[in-house]
Structure 1
């Protein structure tokens, strides 16, 4: 673990990581907080789910364009205004709900708030190459992926705690304050001034999608996301089928815990071959770790199986981001990091919807088998189009 200490002791890195983590906590808070708040206020899970979905849709669809804006104008001029808009959107959901506003107004507020979520993750990744020696890049990207898992584990717990002490609206306010505060600290640190506006490249409207390797990683991320989206619904369905619905939260937390452990181990273990070879390896290994879930005979056994099933996720995201950093030129890097994540999140949404059909029909075992098969196509695609992610692009 010494390598992580070395990274965090590097000049400005510890402060950048801490402030970006604070600004990203809404990722783990907002969805549950919105559902709890709107269910309490409106009595409708349908409205709560729709508004939560609109926020996720805004975040996914808006991220690439926000990233492009950062590349064009600069991080300092974009991130804080976005954080304020995001916070205002969350506050508007609370305010308009209290005023009994139409659901359409809440949907717009959710979408705008999601679209304005500051891309501090992408900006931080683009700074790794400037702040750290090349030998530390593997661990840095692993640390970033592990932090995201930490957010997904602790965010819902924090939301539940705040809601119990105050109210679900209080959790949304805490989320808004965290975003603005974390983003303000992040942009005040000297390294962010290096993320400044770039001249418009020859890529035109396509932006970072004009880079073949970025398109490859976008396409590869979609089936991976679908597979994991199926698991997000399949695991709770398994728990319910076993008569232990309350265990679903524990199983999902252990799954995320496995991902965090995988990320930390990936960062410290010596890597044989290049980053592409490692990405291909973990992409191919993922479906093999999913397959045993279909044979789980009990909740206890499933608890042990979901940990290795999660171990590939953070390394997969870390190697993917490292590949993006190698093929995208500096003037497109922030945007380039967002496109594969947008496809990944979109895939999760598709997978969750597909899982609903599968668990209601053939059952949870079939859902896990389908998840393994779909995620396996990612490794085939990576192998087929490997040349596009092996050649750095310059403009």
Structure 2
């Protein structure tokens, strides 16, 4: 499918979308891009919890409402673990063309100290989504998985057909469980599902607990930053607008069963059911310490480094094979870390009312 055909498919019919995690980082950017296409009715859900600054989440929603010129976006504040409220949304809207589930408790490290939250949100909440999609005839479910499911796999780049049976954090385990649950519902109820393994997403409107935000904040304010394994970890940093472009393009691709799927040699990325898995990554890993150097150059300040050992649950490298994504939608994330960092740091400076000397 070339770009012209893609936009023809996206524009030919008004579609109704339910998107959970609407006030979140990726959810915000996906809705923003959908609003640009002007052929969607979007119902957003978010619990606006205080895991990080609630004001940032509220400002994202306000920004979306400013961009909504056709009154095509509505927002509801509740948690997807509140099953009855979720059912009411599905009932009111009769059916959704696409459900995009981005609601989840994020962060590998937080899962070490707050495991119960991950089971409630990422497993119980996702089950509620699946049940509603089943009973109220959703046409396509797209959901967030994570590159963390690859665990300490050493074969690089990570391919969707690699085994992911050895997660090393509870967060990763919940994302792997989402993939298993989604496949089960796809098989039992013929529900088309698409799972997305995100690789270290960054960019404007990013979460304050994410590495690049923490690095920028520490360097700018001349405070020490914790650097794990001396920064000798590879990360496939993926710019958020490339992520949202990938998701919106996949909205136009409803999975079907793989006619070539072999039960004697089963590929994890597809199935005899309407089920697909895609990596969403930049295919260009970089050492964390080199990213810190780029942030230092931007601000004209040196980082104050507090070296720490690699943390439990962390992996040494992430690197996405994105051929399957490109084959599906003729697009793959392509923003360089140099360009993406400038976009992010420009936003960071503006958001925090910081003037950078040039």
Structure-1-length-normalised TM-score:
0.29
Query: Could you say which structure has the higher strand fraction?
Result: 2
Query: Could you say which structure has the higher helix fraction?
Result: 1
Structure-2-length-normalised TM-score:
0.31
